[in-house]
Structure 1
């Protein structure tokens, strides 16, 4: 039996984790892509809890960086990056509920080399940025293209890295504000967290009727921190299943896999992101796993783990996790 049967989605969801209808959202069906998360765009699709959706996403550059000669500073129209599919409305979703997204698969699509990474002036973890300005000159701009298949990411003639895909940007609409798709926070957004991978179930706090799910910015792989600010960006076909947990109040994004549960925090400075994530993890352990708060605090101190999603976006993202083996 799959571990999904014991997940929060299966035990508490409206559809009990069971798949129902199927939908497909192609690039052509999407039409205009979105560059903000917000409640003002009309849904491109309506689905029910339990439905499975196949979506064709663009890469973070919207396909504009086609060759290594296409420098981002010349071919991109900032801030129109990180194009998002959606919004997808989920029947019955109301503020105070939780939207569940179970990721089934992520596959590269389009011609090879499908993967793109880049060094972009005033962007990245080891350079001066508009938020941290310096007098030194920006790093030289460069684009690197890579072949990406399920067999691996061909980094160079010498190195082929494992294919470890994930969704970089995914989340629900805030209640009133419209926010750049480059920004992560309690609604999800541009978390760039490698754990948002096939097999994982994500939990988002619904802020408006229908939830309005956005998704895009898939990666072939990424190291912790997304150091230069650009992972192995790729257009992708993503298959996922949605469900709905009624009247479950959570403050931000949570994630579950077969082996661990994770709470996600996004903030600057990075220690605040860690505090947000660990505080919610401790409260989750108290609410759903029977821990007394101080015992959960002790256990996180001795056995908790932190995953750095990004250290380059307007807010940094960290995931604090606990192995299910220790939760009883």
Structure 2
């Protein structure tokens, strides 16, 4: 199995204007190594992130060129496994970042939050800081995406290319479908999380370095507008926007489109999601918020 490591500086944008670090073929399984969101620079409880970190966060491994991918195709990424490459994860409270504090886009006169770093020990599939802060290993990819058609988008931003969606559904066993907008797709991933609650409330999940095993496939001539996710039991679409209700509208409307592709009448799909659809918040802290709309396959795949 091919192993892919960033040969030099990591990327902090999703962009078509970077030199690919590797090429993969459809059907190929590869192992990709990722750094954590803090560039592996916050390592102990006594660290003060604001004095350590610069403007560049969420380093991405990529771009990876997918042979044969052309605009108008869909890239299917099967997440086979996520293995930690160290025995600890880090989270932190940052002064002007998170869901319950003032930020540069939500200005208030409140004092910034006090900084605090949490180093969690990973052992026997459990992450432990103390007796109360003790959580199971639930790994997923915080960032996963392809290059936009023209612009370069920050690795902190989720949008219709994927990016920093921070949705726990991008986990082993699931398949992520991404739009191909440039020749070769230019795939990126990083920001692995050992676990996270809905919303990523303080803005920092259980950040960890990882070895990610992925299998790539191409769906030729099929274009999608927003990232889709499929599990063994559910179909999902991710919408990213501000305000949050616009992210919800994107996710649900795109899920209706998917159901129509499967043979549904549009208005019956609308009715079905009204009665049985599910919606959860991936992140409420990034430059855009990400929401996931879902329907169980036992409803979505019903035939007339």
Are the aligned partners of 2:34 and 2:211 in contact in 1 as well (CA < 8 Å)? Answer: yes
Q: Which of 52, 74, 99 is the matching residue for 1:75?
A: 52
Give the structure-1-normalised TM-score. 0.90
Distance 1:149 1:304 in 2: 36
CA deviations over 1:209-247 (Å, ceiling 9, x no partner): 000000000000000000000000001111010000001
- 1:301 is matched with 274
- 2:130 is matched with 156
CA deviations over 1:259-280 (Å, ceiling 9, x no partner): 0000110000000000000000
Q: Which of 134, 144, 167 is the matching residue for 2:108?
A: 134
1:319 equivalenced with 2:292 (yes/no): yes
- 2:35 is matched with 58
Q: 1:88 to 1:149 in 2, by over 3 A?
A: farther
Distance 2:294 2:278 in 1: 5
CA deviations over 1:48-72 (Å, ceiling 9, x no partner): 0011110111000011101112111
Distance 2:243 2:278 in 1: 19
Are the aligned partners of 1:59 and 1:217 in contact in 2 as well (CA < 8 Å)? Answer: yes
Structural mapping, 1:110-125, within 5 Å: 110=86, 112=87, 114-125=88-99
- 1:39 is matched with 16
Distance 2:241 2:117 in 1: 29
Q: C-alpha displacement at 1:107, in angstroms?
A: 1.4
Structural mapping, 1:191-270, within 5 Å: 191-270=165-244
Q: Which of 77, 81, 95 is the matching residue for 1:105?
A: 81
Structure 1 alignment gaps of length 5 or more: 1-21
Q: Which runs of structure 1 show a deviation greater than 4 angstroms over 4 or more consecutive aligned residues?
A: none
Q: 1:143 to 1:272 in 2, by over 3 A?
A: same
Q: 1:282 to 1:298 in 2, by over 3 A?
A: same
Structural mapping, 1:286-297, within 5 Å: 286-288=260-262, 290-297=263-270
Distance 2:190 2:204 in 1: 14
Distance 2:122 2:106 in 1: 33
Are the aligned partners of 2:180 and 2:223 in contact in 1 as well (CA < 8 Å)? Answer: no
Question: Aligned-residue CA RMSD in angstroms?
Answer: 1.0
Give the structure-2-normalised TM-score. 0.97
Q: C-alpha displacement at 1:160, in angstroms?
A: 2.8
1:95 equivalenced with 2:71 (yes/no): yes
